[in-house]
């Protein structure tokens, strides 16, 4: 006999790709401690699991699992980006629109999100994160990149991997 279906919300897992406005910038790795602190603050305020992550010079990719019934990942990213932006220097020049919006000119305004559908989709995005440093030409072997949950310099746990 099958289990009865309930209308209880379930935890959701998402892949994110978040980029700096300047594609030539190296701000994320230069200010890695600030980024880690921003993530810690967001996780303390609104908990979530980081299943995998890689921080590249001008972008980061992460897989998060949110708590059951809480799908508001946007508020978490907003907090991470704002904390980070408050503690690092922005570019020397900002547009009039950025000044009007009080935008420091560090982050792209939007980010790419994708809800993970199943185990195969999860594995595909985990591999994307694992390969990213080598694919970008930053290292020969992906495991050599120090800002990744797959780095040989870290001991990954079975489920939760925290780069913060």
Residues 54-95: pLDDT tens digits? Answer: 999 999 999 999 999 999 999 999 999 999 999 887 666 666
Give the pTM.
0.82
The architecture in CATH of the region 13-89+97-144 reads 2-Layer Sandwich (3.30)
- pLDDT tens per residue, range 111-147: 999 999 999 999 999 999 999 999 999 999 999 999 9
The two most distant CA atoms of the chain are separated, in Å, by: 66
Q: What are phi and psi of 129, to 5 degrees?
A: -65, -45
Could you tell me if 26 and 137 are in contact, meaning their C-beta atoms sit under 8 angstroms apart?
Answer: no
Q: Which of 15, 73, 147, 150 is catalytic?
A: 147
For residue 19, give the nearest of 55, 63, 66, 50 by alpha carbon: 55
> Any residues with CB less than 8 A from the CB of 36 and at least 6 apart, and which?
163, 164
| CA pair distance 139, 145, nearest whole angstrom | 6
First to last CA, the chain: 44
Is there a catalytic annotation at residue 147? yes
């Amino acid at each position: 006999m099958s289990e009865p279906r309930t209308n209880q919300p379930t935890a959701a897992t998402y892949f994110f790709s978040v980029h700096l406005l300047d594609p030539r910038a190296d701000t994320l790795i230069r200010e890695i401690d600030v980024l880690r602190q921003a993530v810690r603050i967001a996780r303390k305020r609104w908990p979530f699991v980081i299943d995998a992550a890689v921080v590249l010079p001008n972008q980061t990719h992460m897989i998060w699992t949110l708590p059951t019934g809480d799908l508001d990942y946007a508020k978490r990213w907003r907090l991470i980006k704002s904390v980070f932006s408050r503690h690092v220097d922005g570019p020397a020049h900002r547009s009039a629109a950025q000044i009007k919006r009080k935008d420091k000119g560090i982050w792209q305004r939007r980010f790419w999100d994708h809800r993970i559908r199943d185990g195969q989709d999860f594995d595909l995005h985990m591999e994307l994160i694992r390969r990213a440093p080598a694919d970008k030409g930053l290292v020969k072997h992906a495991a050599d990149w120090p800002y990744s949950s797959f780095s040989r310099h870290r001991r990954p746990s079975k489920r939760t991997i925290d780069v913060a």
